[in-house]
A and B are shown apart, each in its own frame.
Chain A
Amino acid sequence: MQWETVIGLEVHTQLATKSKIFSGASIAYGADPNTQACIIDLGFPGVLPVLNEAVVDMALIFGLAINAEIGPRSVFARKNYFYPDLPKGYQISQFELPIVGKGSLTIDLEDGSQKVIGITRAHLEEDAGKSLHEDFHGMSGIDLNRTGTPLLEIVSEPDMRSIKEAVAYARKIHQLVVYLGICDGNMQEGSFRVDANLSIRPFGQDAFGTRTELKNLNSFRFMERALNFELERQIDLLEGGGKVVQETRLYDADRDETRSMRSKEEANDYRYFPDPDLLPVEINDQQLQRARQNMPELPDQKRQRFESDYSLSSADALMLTQSRHQADFFEKVVSSGGDAKMAANWVTVELTGALNKAGIALSQSPVTPEQVGGLLERIADNTLSGKLAKQVFEAMWNGEGDADKVIEAKGLKQITDSGQIETIIDEIIANNPKQVEQFRAGKDKLLGFFVGQVMKQTQGKANPGQVNKILLGKLKG
């Protein structure tokens, strides 16, 4: 049987605010347990939530970026269930009237084609705390620092038909929220979490199969592995005459498997109802206008602009716009004197290679975009050959200063004086009569030997084009 995969994703993005969604406590990561939980987060008797207005603006920017329907009014609702890391016994979320309605996102597939993925909704909610089951000798510890951290939960339609599409969609959402500046995208710290719903059905069948929900997919790599495992598990089940049970499954990265967490029967009746402690959020035109003004250029727009303004190939433009930071870096290189094509190459190859080798992020790069721009200028005006430029770059990386300073200090300036090059070549020809004879007898490969001799004499500084031209002229002449 040929099976078709159907996947829908729920992405929890932690909004990049300073304080919590309903209290003034900090949301900074990594503090000692329970040091960033105030009486409101702790759900003390008598406390009340007050909405952090910043989250509304962030949600609106996201809504505009996916061309979503944004209603004039959205409502916070209580999702009721008991758990020790949920202090109030309910989570404040949104149910019937989410802040962001139907929208869509276009993803790029490996074969160069595109696909539109529907987004059902995106709603604001507070995060729960953390239960720590180790180190407490048969008991559990509760850390409520994360309680009340603002989340935007982005729910897709079940529009993805392969694991590759699902990963591409998740990456695209990740790219978008980081671009928009509403999420730091840090998956290790849990700022971007993905839950996946996966089902399969025979090709050609309209009705969806029974789905399972996968949780704890905290990297794109794990997500891909978990989905692969789950897909195989479902196929094996159905082909073995079994049935898929609707349930929530947890991915265990250490064992590379998913296992049942709770079945549909064990699922809570959340008893959603509008939270009487919070007023409905009214969205007016002014707020939308402000969100539009604050909207940065989106990845797809930027990519098109790079292709048209800088005459970059679509592959280069796509690569450069992967992250907003990299795209900004590139534009700064260009504005400080670099040729666009060369800049694209240097940013995506040389700089990225060096960063990867050092294991650091672009934001930590020891070389500034202005320095790269200065370097490219020296290549363009023939001061440096490609090879010399790499040496200069290495020196800049090591903190030896701008390109001009390095060139000066190391004497790396390219020799472009034809007379000077000719003198050196004449000398080499005179000193190697045997090789000259062989070359002239047809051993063309020896050209490399002569070039090598020139470069050796000039410590690689002679302009390679000129060297070739003069050498050929003299040898053949």
Chain B
Amino acid sequence: MMHSKSIVELGAGLQTGEFSSVELTRHFLQRIERLDKDLNALISTTPEQALAEAESADQAIKAGQAGPLTGIPIVQKDIFCTRGVKTSCGSKMLDNFISPYDATVVEKLKHAGVVSLGKANMDEFAMGSSNETSFYGPVHNPWDKGRVPGGSSGGSATAVAARLAVAATGTDTGGSIRQPAAFCGITGLKPTYGRISRFGMIAFASSLDQAGPMTRDAADAALMLQAMAGFDPKDSTCANQPVPDYSATLSDPLEGLKIGLPREYFGEGLDPAVAASVEAAIDHYKRLGAEVIDISLPNSGLAVPTYYVVAPAECSSNLSRFDGVRFGYRCQQPKDLEDLYKRSRGEGFGAEVKRRIMIGTYALSAGYYDAYYLKAQKTRHLISDDFKQAFKTVDVIMGPTTPTPAFGLGEKVNDPVTMYLNDIYTIATNLAGLPGVSIPVEPVNGLPVGLQIIGNYFTEAKLLNVAHRFQQETEWHRLTPELESVASD
């Protein structure tokens, strides 16, 4: 079964001529056609473009010019601008938007030879933790269709978990790669802020947004990150740092690795079954020669409130360009300029986006700026300093990615604060700009659970190495949800 293979395995099959990229692409397109009605992981599919890309990939393979990603079918989160293809960001506001250009990430992956099957569903403008805020309807968790896949990269996570694509791109502002990766049982890496260009990635909160790969396992993540990372002169916040060979160090031994366990990540609110699963994984690392050290990140409690000032403040400004004037949704028959603005934005944005725009506008208003925005900048520093201290004594930090496994559709959507608390373990790394990866560990009641590994700045190679060593000895990342009663292939 081609769809159950990883990038590394498929690459070998393509090279030896076991199958072609066109065959592989057709196979995945058929799976999408058959399975996605129930999952809703994709907003749009681009079969013609995909097959054309697959054909040129096959030619490249024949010509001996293939790289590790040549001919591999993936999906792009619909937050990345793709030339000539609808780029909706999960919003009615951009339902009619055909991007005139490719995001840098898209360009780089095209250059690496991937085949793009389509655009993945997501929370509207990446604002959400359950994929229920999408204009295109919620995505269903492939492990239990009554549950959410997580968000905002819920479509990407579901596509990879349900084997609708080999890999996907995601973006992570407060956990939007890692949390859905945990809920769907896949590997999701949020790199260091600035590791991957943000150009062409529709901005939610510019100082927190970071793109990353969502894959079956760490080895695949290394290949995807290799293609996505690197300096981009079009993004002033993109780091001009050398990109190491992420695959080269995957199997390095872990003897002497110092793992920090922040007590704040194992306290109240954590589902005991999730805790047990995560602790079992950490025990496995001990067997691999790692040393476990109890640490404290004392300002962890400030992360969620800080985030919900910084992110809305930035989004309130970032989303001002959606005004009905130049592109996107415009209301019918505006009677004057103010009516055009009010109705285009009022009708084009969904409830969660409007909520955050209002919170952010308030936080930046005259008389409130110091109490909210400025204070949040200060607490953001405190949070970063916690990590700085911790990384003086440990190499990586481990803990659960989320407090619980995937929750039910509709369960939290009307209770924003409870929803926001789902990102309690992931948000701090965005505020500090650190890299983090979520990998599947032992499921709880048939639902995936994620172990989060946080590293120091630009230590993605180390994170992937730590993740890969675990995956070499465990099978959790190979578990596949049962989607068809009769296997048709």
Contact = CB atoms under 8 A, between A and B. Distances in A.
Contact of B199 (A43, A47, A278): A47
A229 interface: no
Interface string A257-301: 000000000000101110011110000000000000000000000
Contacts of A42: 326
Interface stretch (A82-90, A114-122, A455-463): A82-90
A88 B206 CA distance: 14
B321 interface: yes
B40 to A, nearest CB: 23
A178 to B, nearest CB: 31
B195 to A, nearest CB: 16
Nearest to B206: A276
B320 interface: yes
B364 A80 contact: yes
A419 interface: no
B19 interface: no
A89 B202 CA distance: 15
Contact of A276 (B103, B314, B326): B314
A89 B317 contact: yes
B313 A46 contact: no
Contacts of B235: 48, 50
Nearest to B80: A46
A132 interface: no
Interface string B294-335: 000000000000000000011011011111011110000000
A80 B357 CA distance: 13
B236 A48 contact: yes
A277 B320 contact: no
Interface in B355-403: 361, 364-366, 369, 373
A89 B323 contact: yes
A90 B326 contact: no
Interface in B70-108: 80-81, 87, 89, 94, 97, 99-101, 103
Contacts of A89: 317, 319-321, 323
Interface residues of B, number: 45
Given A39-B100, A88-B320, A48 B199 contact: yes
Contacts of A269: 365-366
Nearest to B102: A46
Contact of B81 (A46, A84, A87, A88): A46
Contacts of A272: 364
Given A89-B317, A89-B321, A276-B206, A44 B365 contact: no
Contact of B236 (A47, A80, A87, A277): A277
B373 A273 contact: yes
B486 interface: no
Contacts of B97: 45
A44 B236 contact: no
Contacts of B99: 44-46
B487 interface: no
Contacts of B4: none
B233 A43 contact: no
A67 B334 CA distance: 52
A159 B148 CA distance: 64
Nearest to B97: A45
B45 interface: no
A49 B328 CA distance: 21
A86 to B, nearest CB: 9
A276 B237 contact: yes
B199 A46 contact: yes
B191 interface: no
A271 B361 contact: yes
A89 B357 CA distance: 13
Contacts of A276: 205-207, 237, 314
B202 A46 contact: yes
A432 B445 CA distance: 136
A87 to B, nearest CB: 6
A237 interface: no
Nearest to B360: A271
Contacts of B326: 42-43, 87
B201 interface: yes
B369 A273 contact: yes
Contacts of B207: 276
B199 A44 contact: no
B101 A142 contact: no
Nearest to A82: B341
A271 B365 contact: yes
B203 interface: yes
A142 B100 contact: no
B101 A39 contact: yes
B89 to A, nearest CB: 7
Contacts of B103: 46
B63 interface: no
Interface string B223-245: 00000000001111100000000
A45 B321 contact: yes
Most buried by B among A45, A50, A278: A45
B454 to A, nearest CB: 22
A277 B100 contact: no
Given A80-B364, A88-B320, A51 B327 contact: no
Nearest to A40: B234
B198 interface: yes
A87 B87 CA distance: 19
A174 interface: no
A76 B81 CA distance: 26
B150 interface: no
Contacts of B361: 271
A78 interface: yes
A278 B366 CA distance: 23
Given A43-B321, A90-B320, A277-B206, A50 B100 contact: no
Nearest to A81: B320
> Of B87, B199, B320, which is in contact with the most chain A CB atoms at under 10 Å from its CB?
B320
A50 B325 CA distance: 24
Nearest to B238: A48
B260 interface: no
B337 interface: yes
Contacts of A82: 320, 323, 341
A48 B364 contact: no
A42 B328 CA distance: 13
Contact of A271 (B80, B317, B323, B341): B317
A434 to B, nearest CB: 90
Interface in A22-45: 39, 42-45
B118 interface: no
B362 to A, nearest CB: 10
B236 A49 contact: yes
A87 B381 CA distance: 32
A36 to B, nearest CB: 16
Given A45-B89, A269-B365, A80 B199 contact: no
A47 B94 CA distance: 15
Contacts of A48: 198-199, 234-237
A80 to B, nearest CB: 5
A273 B100 contact: no
Contacts of B313: 273
Contacts of A43: 321, 326
Shortest 3 CB-CB contacts between residues of A and residues of B: A89-B320, A271-B364, A276-B206
Given A51-B236, A80-B317, 6 more contacts: A46-B200, A78-B317, A276-B205, A277-B203, A277-B237, A278-B237
Interface of A: 39, 42-51, 78, 80, 82, 84, 87-90, 142, 269, 271-273, 276-279
10 contacts: A42-B326, A45-B203, A46-B201, A46-B202, A47-B200, A48-B234, A50-B233, A51-B236, A80-B317, A276-B314
Interface of B: 80-81, 87, 89, 94, 97, 99-101, 103, 198-203, 205-207, 233-237, 313-314, 316-317, 319-323, 325-328, 337, 341, 361, 364-366, 369, 373
